[in-house]
Amino acid sequence: MKRLIPFLLLTCGLALTPILTAKDAPPRFKTIEVKHFTVAEGVPISQDFVNFFYDGLRTVLPKQKLAERIVEEGAVVPEAEAADSMVVEGTFTGYNKGGFGHGIGRVNVEIRLYRRSDHSVIKTIVAQIPFKPSPFNKDKNVGEFTGGRASFEIERALQ
């Protein structure tokens, strides 16, 4: 038994060494520019919702480490970084608010990802992002939440 304990400790130490010393993978892009999304005609989404969605998307994207930095719409990116930069833009194509206590709401969105340098399309994502309606600050809460969920859709599409 006394010989077994040091052997187990050594085995565990050797097994955990690569895991504990592994470095994070470098970000996939130098910069990501996030543009304000547009609203398709006839979709009942307020401009406040769009602004809160934009804030939620910009808040969660850096946590996913897809880029070294997230820049605002229209920001200048050096030419050397333009080839390794991505632009995120999209359109809200539908909105079903559900209702408090009446189930889950959904925002239909089309997200376009393209390279900043040559505007070549990287990916187009069509998603229905679910949310739980809130009677308090609905545009703020729901907008930020769906913006965060959209960033996870972007991350999943780029894997």
Domains in the chain: boundaries? 24-158
For the domain 24-158, what is the CATH superfamily, name and number? Answer: ABC-type transport auxiliary lipoprotein component (3.40.50.10610)
* 112-120 contacts, C-beta under 8 A, 24 or more apart: 112/88, 113/86, 113/87, 113/88, 113/154, 113/157, 113/158, 114/86, 114/87, 115/83, 115/85, 115/86, 115/87, 116/31, 116/33, 116/77, 116/82, 116/83, 116/85, 116/86, 116/87, 117/82, 117/83, 117/85
Q: Across all residues in the chain, what is the average pLDDT?
A: 82
Is pLDDT at 158 greater than 80 in this prediction?
A: yes
Q: Indicate the helix (H) or strand (E) that contains 80.
A: helix 79-82
Place 89 in a pLDDT band, splitting at 50, 70 and 90.
Answer: very high
Is the model more confident about 7 or about 100? 7
What is the distance between the alpha carbons of residues 29 and 123, in angstroms, rounded to a whole number?
Answer: 14
* pLDDT higher than 90, residue 126: yes
Report pLDDT for 34: 92
- Quick one: tokens of 22? 């592994």
155 vs 159: CA distance, rounded Å: 7
Tell me if the pTM is above 0.85.
no
Judge whether residue 120 has pLDDT over 60: yes
pLDDT in tens, 5-47: 766 666 666 666 655 554 567 778 889 999 999 999 998 888 9
pLDDT-derived band at 109, boundaries 50, 70, 90: very high
User: Which of the two residues, 65 and 5, has the higher pLDDT score?
Assistant: 65
pLDDT at position 8 is 61
